Amino acid sequence: MSAPKPPRQPNSESTVRAIVIRLSQRLMRFAALPLLVLAIIVQAQPLRAADNGDADSDSASASGSAVQGNAAHHDKQNEHGHDEDQDRAAKQGFMPGQQRSTGSVVVGGRRINYVAYAGTLVVHPKGWDDVPQDAPKDQDKGDQPEASMFYVAYFRAPESAGTAARGSKQGRDDNGDRRRGNAAATPAQLSADSSPRRPITFIYNGGPGSSTVWLHMGAFGPRRVVTLDDAHTPAAPYRLVNNDHSLLDASDLVFIDAPGTGFSRIGGKNRQKSFYGVDQDAYAFSDFIVQFLSKYGRWNSPKYLFGESYGTTRSAVLINLLENDRYVDFNGVMLLSQILGFDDSPDAPQTNPGIDLPYELALPTYAATAWYHHRLPGQQAGQGQPPDLQTLLQQVEHFAMNDYRHALDQGTTLPTEQRQAIAQQLHQYTGLPVDYILRANLRINGGEFEKNLQGDEDLTTGRLDTRFSGPSYDPLAEEAEYDPQSAAISSAYVSSFNDYVRRQLQYGQGMIYKPEVEVGNWNYQHAPLGQGMPLQQSTNVMPDLEIALKTDPRLHILLNAGYFDLATPFYEGIYEMQHLHIPDSLRGNISFAFYQTGHMVYVSEDGLRQLHDNAAKFIHDTQNEPATP
């Protein structure tokens, strides 16, 4: 997910702070999270501890921390604005744990039995040492920052575990899950429940500040929530169905919530400073992954990353860390709705005058959106649709990178006749009025486009998925005040997961699941691996991906992008990949897949099917055979 730009001028802190706050409010919605669902409390009876009292039972450790207490007191803010739960955690310390369950999913007409683990691992900031005598001198002073990171892992059950007869309901609930109470898992069982040679994919959303409820409930988990394709989904009851396109047929899956989100928690002194930042976040994920590989015996599995939105930013930093700091090569990295260079975002380019690239990269998405809503001048005149979307996009991409770019490069020296001609062509491709385009100085940011495309009908166009529309909050506002797509689906996802995780994964009783947390103090400064100080520029992690590709010339990348995504426009991803400083011999390691959907391509069932097929093929093509002497 994109994010606010770091300060360019240290002596303009008040201006920068205002920009960051404004951008944070818009960009936190990259994972489709309306502020109305920041805290969902689900009332439920606590699960009984396992009969044998094993530490893996839900009541003993499935919360992943020593912070249990009364649900009514969870996440309570004290008078100083501190999280009392987190303060207690800092004193008591987090404890890892997991809850085991079993189930099945039908993918491609084939039933797949699986073992699920919902649990936590405890991670620490860079510099922490697990050997006390080798630790930094201040590590033994207590109250050290740490994070309890929540995950749900699905392992295809070994054939020896047996498969229930097709159609049998014995020991299985209505959704196909066979539950085994609070079955505890021994270390031996953790390894026995998964195949050490099977591919494994680590999956996460972005934000920053987003949990992974979206990819879990909408894309690759064994169950998915049904929502409307381009309109507001009615309120509960929601439908949670077998996910015909779960990626479990191709890979074992690990859905990870970033520190502080979902059931993940942070604690200790300077906890936000230690985990809320580009580099701090990536280090926490690298710590989590290597611990997971050890815990479940997956060091020799083909390994993959799958990140969405800001998760693509994280992936670029993370794969570089894994290769060059942890010495762990991965087979592939799958990126969905990419943003690597934050100067490319269309959200607020007007705050960065002289940098016109965001307007150019967003233009193809503007055109696709106008096409979808029948707002192109030819459509309005009753002349019908253009021949097809692809033909239109090819024309617009060429215009954006040539005539439009040349015009913007001239700034105030652009002759009046050319200015008028460019405005007229922009009108043809966006449907916006020529006089509005001229008053905008030929530069329309994302929020302005969303507000004005259908403004004459008092409608605001979606941002995460521009196929969606909703009533405008304020008809006189300059930019869109909310995202209709986020508002349309968030309740369905959050409500369904809160029910699913407790009923079927048997985890989270007495706890609050946080789909989103406020990270207004996120540190966007980035120090590429090997450089001691952060670079004084807007966040750009393209060099991290370049280094990762050069370090491991067999690493493969799959970029997935939706044509109707205005949060991270598809052409932005293309541009970034085409401008990586890598040799020609490595360019074949990067592949592309595009969808007639938005940011969350899986919201459309057809988009989900294509995403599954592309991801499954990518995994199949890149999981190497064992090396021979």
Task: Label residue 617 by pLDDT band (50, 70, 90).
Answer: very high
For helices 570-578 and 357-372, the axis angle rounded to 10 degrees is: 140
> Would residue 479 count as lying in a domain?
yes
- Give domain status of residue 5, yes or no: no
Q: Which pairing describes strands 512-513 and 40-41: parallel, antiparallel, or unpaired?
A: antiparallel
Q: What is the mean pLDDT of residues 515-540?
A: 87
Rounded distance, CA 407 to CA 442, Å?
9
Instruction: Give the pLDDT score at 534.
Output: 82
CA-closest candidate to residue 82, choices 271, 235, 347: 271
Does residue 62 belong to any structural domain of this protein?
yes
- Mean pLDDT check: name the lowest of 5-14, 252-261, 380-389: 5-14
Q: What is the pLDDT of residue 158?
A: 82
Domain holding 109, by residue range, is 13-343+490-622
Write out 348-402 in H/E/C secondary structure. CHHHCCCCCHHHHHHHHHHHHHHHHCCCCHHHHCCCCCCCCHHHHHHHHHHHHHH
Question: What is the CB neighbour count within 10 angstroms for residue 382?
Answer: 6
Which run of H or E residues covers position 273? helix 271-275
Tens digit of each residue's pLDDT (9 = 90 or more) over 297-318: 999 999 999 999 999 999 999 9
Q: What's the rounded mean pLDDT across residues 609-623?
A: 97
Same domain as 232, residue 169: yes
DSSP state, residue 257: P
Percentage of the chain modeled with pLDDT above 70: 77
| Residue 131, both tokens | 């050997």
Neighbours of 16 (CB within 10 A): 18
Residues 41 and 138 in one domain: yes
How far is it, in rounded angstroms, from Cα 302 to Cα 622? 8
Same domain, 77 and 120: yes
From the list 101, 150, 51, the residue with the least C-alpha distance to 511 is 150
CA dihedral sign, ordered 21, 22, 24, 28: positive
Same domain, 270 and 133: yes
Which tens digit of pLDDT belongs to each residue from 175-188? Answer: 444 444 344 566 66
Domain end call among 461, 483, 505: 483
Question: Do 417 and 498 reside in the same domain of the chain?
Answer: no
Shared domain check, 552 and 472:
no
> What token pair was written down for 148?
């309890």
Whether pLDDT at 102 is above 80: yes
- Statement to judge: residues 174 and 304 lie in one domain: yes
Hey, is 449 helix, strand or coil? Answer: helix
Q: How confident is the model at residue 45 (pLDDT cuts 50, 70, 90)?
A: very low
Any domain includes 629: no
CB 23 within 8 Å of CB 348: yes
What total of structural domains would you count in the chain?
2
User: What is the percentage of the chain residues whose pLDDT exceeds 90?
Assistant: 70
pLDDT of residue 132: 61
Q: Model's pTM, two decimal places?
A: 0.84
Please give the pLDDT value at position 92: 57
CA 469 – CA 467 distance, rounded (Å): 7
Domain boundary among 429, 462, 483: 483
Does residue 118 fall inside a structural domain? Answer: yes
Look up the CATH number of the domain holding residue 242. Answer: 3.40.50.1820
Last residue of a domain, one of 467, 483, 499: 483
User: How far is C-alpha 39 from the chain's CA centre?
Assistant: 19
pLDDT number for residue 379 = 78
Verify that 389 and 531 share a domain, yes or no.
no
- Residue 598 lies inside a defined structural domain of this protein: yes
CA gap 259, 149 in Å, rounded: 6
Query: Residue 135: what pLDDT?
Result: 54
| CA distance readout (Å), 102 to 112, 115, 176, 182, 222 | 11, 4, 9, 11, 11
pLDDT score at 532: 74
488, 227 Cβ separation under 8 angstroms: yes
Residue 188's contacts (CB-CB under 8 Å, 6 or more residues apart) are none
Mean pLDDT taken over the chain = 83
Span 162-217, pLDDT tens digits: 343 343 333 333 344 444 434 456 666 776 777 889 999 999 999 999 999 999 99
Residues 420 and 526 in one domain: no
Per the document, the length of the chain is 629
Residue 460 has pLDDT above 80, yes or no: yes
Over range 477-485, report the average pLDDT.
94
Same domain, 290 and 413: no
Cβ–Cβ < 8 Å for 302, 124? no
- What are the tokens at 135? 């630790």
Asked whether residue 4 is domain-assigned, the answer is no
Residue 3 falls within a domain, yes or no?
A: no
Contact 437, 424 (CB under 8 A): no
**Per-residue pLDDT averaged across 399-415, rounded?**
97
Q: Checking phi first, is residue 75 left (phi over 0); if not, alpha (psi -120 to 50) or beta?
A: left
Does 576 lie in the same domain as 547?
Answer: yes
Most confident range, picked from 68-72, 93-97, 329-333: 329-333
Higher pLDDT, 543 or 22: 543
Q: Are residues 130 and 114 in the same domain?
A: yes
User: Using CA atoms, how far apart are residues 367 and 379, in angstroms rounded to an integer?
Assistant: 12
